[in-house]
Amino acid sequence: VVDLMQADLGFTPVMLGLLTSIPVLCFALAASLASLTTRKLGAEFAVSLTILGVLAGVIVRSAGGPGPVVVGTVMIGLAITVGNIAVPLIIRRDFSPLRQGTAMGVYTAALNIGSFLTSMVTAPLAELAGWRVA
C-alpha cells in the first residue's frame, strides 16, 4: 500500500518512514495526556473518544493530499493512545482479580486478530479500489 500512497501523494521515502512512525510517536509522547484525559473524563468517555477519533482520523486521512494524510494519521495515533490507556482501566475496574488476566488476554487477542485481518485485507483491497478506500 505504501507504494500506491507514494505514487499518489509524491511522498519521499523519509516522509513514508515518518508516516509509519507517527502512531508509535503518539504512543510515546501522548500517553501522559491520554492518562489525564481518561482520569478527568472517565474511561467510558475515553473509549468513545477513541472510536470517534479513529473514525475522524480515517476520514481526514482518506480525504486529501499529503497534509491531511499526516494529520489524519496523528489523529488516529492519538485516539488509539487514549484507548490503550482506557480499556485496561475498565478491565481492572469491572473484572474480579481472578478474571482480569483472562479479560486482558481476550482483549489483546482481539487487537491482534483485528490487526491481522486488517493487514490481510488492506493490500488486496488497495489494489482493487485504491489505497484511500483500503
CA distances (Å), origin 56, targets 62, 77, 89, 101, 122: 10, 11, 24, 32, 19
Quick check: 122 and 1 in contact, CB under 8 A? yes
Q: Is the pLDDT of residue 56 over 90?
A: yes
What is the distance between the alpha carbons of residues 104 and 78, in angstroms, rounded to a whole number?
Answer: 21
C-alpha cell at 43: 474511561
Q: What is the average pLDDT score of the chain?
A: 93
Q: Is the pLDDT of residue 2 over 90?
A: no
- For 130, phi then psi, to 5°, come to 100, 155
Q: Count of residues for the chain?
A: 134
Quick check: 26 and 79 in contact, CB under 8 A? no
Q: Is the pLDDT of residue 64 over 90?
A: no
Q: Is the pLDDT of residue 49 over 90?
A: yes
Q: What is the mean pLDDT of residues 78-85?
A: 94
Q: What is the mean pLDDT of residues 90-118?
A: 95
Residue 68's pLDDT is what?
A: 94
Q: Is the pLDDT of residue 117 over 90?
A: yes
Domain ranges for the chain: 2-129
pLDDT grade for 111, boundaries at 50, 70 and 90: very high
What is the distance between the alpha carbons of residues 76 and 22, in angstroms, rounded to a whole number?
Answer: 9
Tracing cell 493490500 back to the chain, one arrives at 123
